[in-house]
Chains A and B, each alone.
Chain A
Amino acid sequence: DAKTTQPNSMESNEEEPVHLPCNHSTISGTDYIHWYRQLPSQGPEYVIHGLTSNVNNRMASLAIAEDRKSSTLILHRATLRDAAVYYCILRDPPPNSGYALNFGKGTSLLVTP
């Protein structure tokens, strides 16, 4: 799988938007961009994923660059509960490639009141 690059850490104030960047310059045409997050003392949880177009769900928005070499996870109003490690992961769609995810180091998001 192609690799991703994320900042080690970011900080945000509560109730402000947060933009978490991810670079993936070697992304292939079939790679989907997945985001997961891991809250303290919990297993990772799915946040959002996309291929080419921007995506929105109840948790977040995913903005994908036109050349697909970067993407940004957007939390519209950060809450204290959003403090977590956020992982940007590239995956070929299952079932052909299996369900293994290559977690990198992720971005540790700190949210302050």
Chain B
Amino acid sequence: KAGVTQTPRYLIKTRGQQVTLSCSPISGHRSVSWYQQTPGQGLQFLFEYFSETQRNKGNFPGRFSGRQFSNSRSEMNVSTLELGDSALYLCASSSAEVNTGELFFGEGSRLTVL
């Protein structure tokens, strides 16, 4: 079956702009989580959604937000972009019915803020 799909794969923005990233989970998966990866901080958890509700949230400012739709697709938004937001943003999906906790990651969206 198709894996986790993230769009766009690459994008360049300037400071002050906003960006929206999209994630389509594996069919049937109801949990979607987002991570930010930078060389300095590594992989950091942003937030997790399950059945359109945010269930967990990491330690990021309010400029980072997300949502999940009824078809489990998810979007994350970063407003008022800063240079430090340049990163690889990864989305992962999981099936709540399977008690393995295995996450399936997409290839990420690489954001460059100039």
Binding site for B on A (CB under 8 A): 32, 34, 36, 41-46, 49, 87, 91, 93-95, 98-106
Contact = CB atoms under 8 A, between A and B. Distances in A.
B15 interface: no
- The DSSP consensus for interface residues of chain B is strand
Given A93-B99, A95-B96, A100 B45 contact: yes
Interface residues on chain B, size class: 20 to 34
Interface string B82-106: 0000000010101010011111111
Contacts of B31: 94, 98-99
Contacts of B94: 94, 99
Contacts, number: 65
A53 B107 CA distance: 32
A103 B101 CA distance: 14
Contacts of A94: 31, 94, 96, 99, 101
B48 A46 contact: no
Interface of B: 4, 31, 33, 35, 42-45, 48, 50, 55-56, 58, 90, 92, 94, 96, 99-108
B105 A100 contact: no
Contacts of A100: 33, 45, 48, 56, 58
A105 B108 CA distance: 19
Nearest to A48: B102
Contact of A98 (B56, B102, B108): B56
Closest 7 CB pairs of A and B: A43-B105, A103-B43, A98-B56, A100-B45, A46-B102, A100-B56, A99-B94
